Structure 1
Amino acid sequence: MSSKNGGRADLVASGLACFALLMALVQISMIPSYRTAPFGPPCWAFAFTYIAAVTDVIFWLRVEDVDHSK
């Protein structure tokens, strides 16, 4: 993590994290619609948001250097 901000998330990073959380909640509320979508491009379009969110969390944890020994 950059030392420019003292190792803390700045306002922009916090805002983007809150927006991502809001979008995740919207996606969860749409699960009934996703379950009725036929397999094909619509299915992949819906699945992309989940894949992107999980990938973002994985990269975020890697950048933060989370200490698992505590």
Structure 2
Amino acid sequence: MIERAGGGHTIFIGDTINDIAGARNAGIPSVAVSFGFLDGPVEELQADAIIHHFDELLPLLQGWPQ
């Protein structure tokens, strides 16, 4: 469905293990945020990247491999 919608450049942003696992299961890169509904350290989510404030998102995405 993502491909049909033109989502060739999709990244999932989440704050829970279910968010990151869902992205992984769908084959989508993930970004974990440390300022959400976390039950433990954000590093334990094992996302492809971590941000600590929304201000970090755009620079991260601009440097993301195509």
* Range into which the TM-score falls when normalised by the shorter chain: under 0.3
| Larger helix proportion of the pair | 1
Larger radius of gyration: 1
- TM-score of the pair, normalised by structure 2: 0.25
**Which of the pair is proportionally richer in strand?**
2
Structure with the bigger RCO (C-alpha within 8 Å, sep 6+) is: 1
